[in-house]
Amino acid sequence: MRSFWLIARHEYHHTVARRGFVIMTAAIPLGLIALIGLGILVEGIGKDSRPVGYVDHSNTLDDGLHTMMTDADARIQILAFSDEATGRNALEAEEIQALFVLPAEYPQTLHTELYYLEEPPTGEVWRHFDDYVRLNLLSDMPEEMQRRLLEGPDIAVRDIVSNRVFSKSGAVNIALPFVASFLLFFATMAGSGYMLGIVAGEKENRTIEVMVTTVTPGQLIGGKTLGLLAAALTQLTIYFLAVVVGLVVAAPHVPELQQIAVPWGYLGVVALFFLPTYALVSAMMVAIAGAVGEVQQGQQLAGLLYFFFMLPMLLVPILFKNPGHPLMVFFTLFPTTSFLTISLRWGLGTVPLWQVGVSWVLLVATTGFVVWAAARIFRAGMLHYGQPLSVKAALASIRGA
Amino acid sequence: MRNIWLVIKHDLGVTLRQRSFWIFTLLVPAFLLALNTYQIFEEGRAARSDSDGHQPEAESTRLAALPAIGLVDEAHLIVDLPPDIPDDLFVRFPDPAAALAALEAGEIDQYVHIPANYLIAGNVTVYDQNFQILQNGEDMGVAFRSENEWVLPQIIGYNLVDDEQLFVALQNPVPGALAESHALRAAPETDAASQELAGVVSRVMPYLYYFLLVMGSSYLMRSVVAEKENRTAEVLLLSLNPREMMVGKLLAMSGLTWLQALVWVGGGILVLGRGAEALNVAEFAFPPGFLVWAVLFLILGYLLFASVMAAAGAIAPNAREGGQVTVLLIVPLMPTLMFGPAFVEDPNGILPVVLSLFPFSAPSAMVTRLAVAPVPLWQIFLSLAALALTAYLFIVLAARFFRAGNLLSFESFNWRRLATGWRQVK
C-alpha cells in the first residue's frame, strides 16, 4: 500500500510541476477571457451607435420622455426633428443612422416612413425606437400598469420532473454547463494524455521493468491513475475558482450574471459521471500503452480514441436543434460519450432520469470491464519485451488464453 | 540534390504508411462534411419555410400548433382572448394543485400560472415535463424561446389594455411591413441565399486552412523528432548535411499537405454544390482569381508554419515537448475560426482587416475574406508581402536551428532555447 501512495504522490508532483501543465492550466482561463474580450470588441466595433431621428406630425411623441426610459443611457439616442428636410439633412450628413416619419393620423394608422442611407436600422435599433413610442402611447396610464405593459411578463419554465427553472433572464444558467463541459472534457483528455505518455514512455525506456520488481502492476497503474486524477482535479479546481472569481467580479456590472443559481443537480451529475469517465479513458490509455512498442504509436491510437470521446462536441449543431434527437439519446447512453453529452444537454433542458440512470450503469459496467481488460493487456504487453501487441494477442490476453 | 530526393521519398513513404494520416485525411473531413451537409440541408429547409424573409419586428404572430395548455389565473387577469387566438386555447383550472394533477396525468402538456401579484412582480410560470429548449422553438408550447413565445405577452397585454386600437399599436408601434422605406444611397445588391452560402464558406474555410497549416507542419515536427528519438538522425547526418535534410522534409510534407488539400477541397466543393441544391440557388461561385490567391496564401502560410515547426522539432527531445510550439501557431488562427460569421457580416471591418494583414493569421483570414467579399488589391499585396517576408525570415531562422548540434541533442525543450538557439555559430 505504501508503494501505491508513493507512486501516486510522485506522479502528482511530477505532473503539476511540469511546465506544460502550468501553461495549459493558466492558458485556458486566460484564453477564455481573451476570447470573451475579443467577442465584446467585435460586437462593439460592428455597432452603429449614431442616434435615430424622427419627425412626428401626429404630436404623439414627447421627446422629454426619452430620458425617463429604463436604462436610457444604454439605449440608442433618439432625436426629434421639426420637419423632414432637417431630418434628411442630418441623415445625409451621417449625424443620424435613420429617420422615422410618423404621419398626422398616427396611431389610427400605423403606416410610417423610414429614411436611411444604405442599410435599414438593425432590429435592436428598431426595438429601441418601438419602446420609445410605446412609452409615449402609455404616458397617460398609472405608473404600475405602464411598467407592466412596457416590460411585459417575465416568463419562466419550471420542469416538474427535475424541478429546474429555465428563463430568458437566467440564460447564463443555460450557458454555464457548456463552459463546464469544455473544461471537464479538456481536463479529462489532458490527464489521459499524460497517462499514455508516462506509461508508454516508461515502457519504451524500460523503467517500468525495473519498477515492477518492487511493486505489483496493479499498484503501479493504480498509483499513477490516482496521481494523475489528483492533478486533473487540481486543474479543474483552478478552472472552477477562475470562473467563480470572474463571475463575482463581473456580476455587479452585468445584470444577467446576477441570475446565476448554484446548479446543484448539474454538480451531482458531474460527481456521478466524472470519475467513471476518467477511469474509463485512463484504462483505455493504459491498455494502449501496454499494447504498443513506442510512444508515437500510442499517440496515433489515442488520437483515434479521443474521437470517440469528443463526438458530441462535433455534433453541437444537432444538439442545439434538438437536445432529444435520437442521435443525442444514443450518445447519452454510449459509455465513451455519455458524460459529455449529458453535460452539454443539461443546459438546454431536462435529461430524462431514465437516460441518466441507464447511461450511468452502462458507463460504470464498461469502465469495470475496461479496467479489468486493461490490466490484462498491460501485463501481456510487459511480457512482450518492447514488442507491440497485436489485436489478436491483446484479445487473447483478455480471454486469459 | 540526390540526397534531398531520398529524404523526400523516405518521408513520404513513412507518413503515407501511417494509419493516422489516412484517418485524418479521409475520415475526419468526411465526418465534418457529413455534418455540414446535414446543417446546410436543415438551414435550407428552414430558409424555404420562411421564404418571406426577415421582418425587423416580431410581426410573424402566426399561431403555430399548440399542445393542450392549462391556465391557473390567480390574478383574474385573463377574461378575453385576442381575436387571432382561439377561445379554447387554455383549459382553466381553479388552483395549481388541480393543474399539476392534470399535467402529471398527461391530460395537458403544460400549464401557465399567473400569480395574484402579477401586476407588481410581473412573473408568470409555465410548468412543463422534461422541458427542452429547441433551436427552432417547435413543440415548446408557450414557453420562452418557443415559436409561440409571443402568445402569453399578447394575451396578458390585451387584457390589461381596454382600448383595442391602443393594444394593436402597443404590440408593434412601428411595423416594418407598414413602413415605407427610402434608401438615400443605393446599397450593394445582396442575395439572401448567396449570403447563406457565403456564411457556410466563412465557416468551412478557416477550418480547412487550420487543419492544412497546423497538421501539415505538425507532421514535419513529428518526423524530425521521431528521427531524433529513434536515433536515425545520427546515422542520416553521416551522409547528408542538415540543410538537405530540412529541405527534403519540408518538400515531402508540403506534398502531403497538397494531397490533403486536394481531398478536402474536393469535399468542400461537394458540400457547396449540395448546399446550393438544398437552398435552391445557383452554385456558389468564388470571385475571379480566388484560386490563385488561395494557393499563394497556402504555400506561403505552409512555409511559415512549417519553418517554425521544423525549428521546434530540431531542438525538442520528443514530440510532446515540441508540441508546445503548436500553441503559438494555433492562437493566431483561433479568432478566424471563432468569428468566421463576422467576415460575412462586415468583411472590411477592423477585425477581419487586422487578421488578414497579420502574417500568422493572414493565410486563413485573408482567404476567408477573399471567398466571401471583394478585398482591396493593396491589402492583398500588403498581406502577401508581409507573409512572404515573415516566411523567408523564419526559414532562415529554421535553417540556423537545423544544425547537427541541435539535431543530436536531447536537452529538454525550453522557450529560451527557442529564442536564442539560432544565435549559436556553427
pLDDT confidence tier of residue A90, bands split at 50, 70 and 90: very high
Interface membership of A255 toward B (CB under 8 Å) = no
**Residue in B closest to A316 by C-alpha:** B35
- Residue B146, pLDDT > 90, answer no
Interface membership of A19 toward B (CB under 8 Å) = yes
- Residue A348, pLDDT > 60, answer yes
What cell numbers appear for B131 in the block?
Answer: 422541458
Contact (CB<8Å) A119/B187: yes
pLDDT of residue B55: 42
* Residue A251: φ, ψ to 5°: -55, -45
Assembly ipTM: 0.72
Q: How many whole angstroms from its chain centre is CA A313?
A: 10
Distance from CA of B87 to the nearest CA of A (A): 21
**Residue in B closest to A160 by C-alpha:** B129
pLDDT of residue B413: 60
The SS3 assignment for B138 reads: coil
- Residue A148, pLDDT > 90, answer no
pLDDT confidence tier of residue B294, bands split at 50, 70 and 90: confident
- Residue A65, pLDDT > 90, answer no
Contact (CB<8Å) B178/A350: no
Between A44 and A37, the more confident residue is: A37
Burial code (b: 16+ CB inside 10 Å, e: under 16) for B249-270 equals: bbbbbbebbbbbbeebeebbee
> Which tens digits make up the pLDDT trace of B349-398?
777 888 888 888 888 888 888 887 788 888 899 999 999 999 888 888 88
Q: Looking at residues B89-111, what average pLDDT do you find? A: 91
- Residue B59, pLDDT > 60, answer no
* pTM (two decimals): 0.67
Q: Looking at residues A221-248, what average pLDDT do you find? A: 84
**Do residues B362 and B371 lie in contact, with contact meaning Cβ atoms separated by under 8 Å?**
no
> Which tens digits make up the pLDDT trace of A332-346?
999 999 999 998 888
Q: Return the residue matching grid coordinates 470517440.
A: A308
Of A179-188, B157-166, B315-324, minimum mean pLDDT range:
B315-324
pLDDT confidence tier of residue B235, bands split at 50, 70 and 90: confident
Interatomic CA distance for residues A118 and B227, integer angstroms: 60
Find the CB nearest A153 among B56, B122, B166: B122
- Residue A45, pLDDT > 80, answer no
Neighbours of A330 (CB within 10 A): 11
For chain B, the distance separating the N- and C-terminal CA atoms, rounded to the nearest angstrom, is: 22
pLDDT of residue B62: 60
> Which tens digits make up the pLDDT trace of B10-48?
888 877 877 767 777 777 666 666 666 666 556 555 555
Edge to edge, the sheet with strand B110-114 lists: A165-167, A154-159, B123-128, B110-114, B69-73, B90-92
What cell numbers appear for A323 in the block?
Answer: 437536445
Contact (CB<8Å) A153/B318: no
pLDDT of residue B60: 44
Between A295 and A382, the more confident residue is: A382
Contact (CB<8Å) B56/A126: yes
**Do residues B78 and B156 lie in contact, with contact meaning Cβ atoms separated by under 8 Å?**
yes
> Which tens digits make up the pLDDT trace of A161-176?
888 888 877 677 777 7
Contact (CB<8Å) A134/B170: yes
Report the candidate in B110, B114, B302, B284 with the shortest Cα–Cα distance to residue B195: B284
pLDDT of residue A341: 92
Between B23 and A93, the more confident residue is: A93
Interatomic CA distance for residues B229 and B222, integer angstroms: 10
Contact (CB<8Å) A116/B319: no
Of A2-16, A98-112, A200-214, minimum mean pLDDT range:
A200-214
Q: Cβ contacts (< 8 Å) between A324 and chain B: which residues?
A: 132
Interatomic CA distance for residues B74 and B94, integer angstroms: 8
Interatomic CA distance for residues A215 and A379, integer angstroms: 13
**Residue in B closest to A298 by C-alpha:** B20
Q: Looking at residues B207-222, what average pLDDT do you find? A: 79
Percentage helix, strand, coil, to 5, in chain A? Answer: 70, 5, 25
Rounded percentage of chain B residues whose pLDDT exceeds 90: 10
Q: How many whole angstroms from its chain centre is CA B93?
A: 48
- Residue B50, pLDDT > 60, answer no
Orientation angle between helical segments B350-357 and B362-372, nearest 10 degrees: 130
Between B146 and A233, the more confident residue is: A233
Mean model confidence pLDDT for chain A: 83
- B410, with CB counted inside 10 A (0-12, 13-18, 19+), is exposed
**Do residues B205 and B340 lie in contact, with contact meaning Cβ atoms separated by under 8 Å?**
yes
Q: Cβ contacts (< 8 Å) between A160 and chain B: which residues?
A: 100, 103-104, 127-129
Between A398 and B202, the more confident residue is: A398
Interatomic CA distance for residues B235 and A115, integer angstroms: 77
Q: Mutate one of B19, B103, B133 to test the A interface: name it (highest A CB count within 10 A).
A: B133
Edge to edge, the sheet with strand A98-102 lists: A78-80, A52-56, A98-102, A112-116, B179-183
> Which tens digits make up the pLDDT trace of B244-281?
887 888 888 888 888 888 887 777 666 666 655 655 55
The SS3 assignment for A55 reads: strand
Contact (CB<8Å) A152/B156: yes
Of A123-127, B128-132, B342-346, B401-405, minimum mean pLDDT range:
B401-405
Q: How many whole angstroms from its chain centre is CA A8?
A: 31
What cell numbers appear for A158 in the block?
Answer: 419550471
- Residue B51, pLDDT > 60, answer no
Interatomic CA distance for residues B93 and B101, integer angstroms: 10
**Do residues B306 and B216 lie in contact, with contact meaning Cβ atoms separated by under 8 Å?**
yes
Name A36's Cβ contacts closer than 8 Å, sequence gap at least 6.
none
Interatomic CA distance for residues B133 and B131, integer angstroms: 7
pLDDT of residue B57: 43
Interatomic CA distance for residues A157 and B137, integer angstroms: 14
Q: Looking at residues B217-241, what average pLDDT do you find? A: 76
Report the candidate in B260, B417, B212, B420 with the shortest Cα–Cα distance to residue A19: B417
pLDDT confidence tier of residue B85, bands split at 50, 70 and 90: confident
**Do residues B336 and B355 lie in contact, with contact meaning Cβ atoms separated by under 8 Å?**
yes
pLDDT of residue B39: 61
Q: Cβ contacts (< 8 Å) between A321 and chain B: which residues?
A: 42, 134-136
pLDDT of residue B93: 93
Mean model confidence pLDDT for chain B: 77
DSSP assigned state of B212: I
What cell numbers appear for A391 in the block?
Answer: 489485436
pLDDT of residue B219: 78
Q: Looking at residues A84-101, what average pLDDT do you find? A: 93
pLDDT of residue B423: 61
**Residue in B closest to A31 by C-alpha:** B331
Rounded percentage of chain B residues whose pLDDT exceeds 70: 73
Q: Mutate one of A160, A168, A301, A337 to test the B interface: name it (highest B CB count within 10 A).
A: A160
For chain A, the distance separating the N- and C-terminal CA atoms, rounded to the nearest angstrom, is: 30
DSSP codes, A124-154: HHHHHHHHHHHHHHTTTS-HHHHHHHHH--E
DSSP codes, B59-106: ---PPPP---EEEEETT-------TTS-TTSEEE-SSHHHHHHHHHTT
Report the candidate in A91, A72, A73 with the shortest Cα–Cα distance to residue A81: A91
Interatomic CA distance for residues B402 and B9, integer angstroms: 20
